[in-house]
Amino acid sequence: MKKILITGIIVLAGFYGFAQNGNEITERSSFRDRVFFGGNLGLAFGDVTFVEVAPLVGYRVTDKLSTGVQIQYRYRNDKRFSQDLEASDYGFNLFARYNLASPFFLQAEYEYLNFEFITLTPDRNTFREGFSSVLVGGGIAQPLGRNAFFIITALYNLSYDDSEQVSPYDSPLILRVGINLGF
């Protein structure tokens, strides 16, 4: 019996301190000046409720290069069926972002996601599977003020295999759109 993935993801806002806060990094910059905090907050409500909380800590290697780690938790509740389908996912990613000429950047991520699948059998069983993904791409970060940016990121999942019966992603292309606030 084939298992079907039910998911809906809309990321509405991200909070990043990615090397875009205007502070220049020099060889003499302290560790504290190079470290930044942020993360993602994703929310969607309606027939599918989605909540994502993903704090991150990063390090500005240079003015153009930032790296870091992010932990992720996602909650999904799908009310489109006679019985609500609830699932939770968790994981982490390691990222690197290189700022090209403003407003363009390149980004690479390694993501591990422990994903909960829901079967559409009468008993609505769930099962978990771990997925590792290598994501590469880029985007545009358009300033909206001193520490705010409208950001569009397009990443390609190099690990995507469309022959897999279950996957946390429906496509190898991952698009993210949001408002980023630097702290």
Kindly report, residue by residue over 159-178, the tens digit of the pLDDT.
998 887 778 888 999 988 87
In a domain, 170, yes or no: yes
pLDDT of 182 reads 59
In a domain, 5, yes or no: no
pLDDT of 73 reads 96
In a domain, 111, yes or no: yes
In a domain, 3, yes or no: no
In a domain, 122, yes or no: yes
pLDDT of 181 reads 65
* pLDDT one-digit tens code per residue, 116-146: 887 767 777 778 899 999 999 999 988 888 7
Q: How far is residue 131 from each of residues 15, 78, 115, 153, measured CA to CA in Å?
A: 25, 22, 7, 21
pLDDT of 97 reads 94
pLDDT of 66 reads 92
In a domain, 126, yes or no: yes
In a domain, 51, yes or no: yes
The DSSP code sequence of 109-158 is: EEEEEEEEEE--STT--EEEEEEEEEEEEEEEEEESSSSEEEEEEEEEET
Q: What is the CATH number of the domain that holds 114?
A: 2.40.160
Tell me the two tokens of residue 68. Answer: 């870091």
pLDDT of 55 reads 87
In a domain, 91, yes or no: yes
> Which residues in the chain come in under a pLDDT of 70?
1-23, 120, 180-183
Phi, psi of 71 (to 5 degrees): -100, 150
- Structural domains counted in the chain: 1
Q: Which domain holds residue 88?
A: 13-181
Long-range contacts of 155-158 (CB under 8 A, 24+ apart): 155/107, 155/109, 157/133, 158/133, 158/134
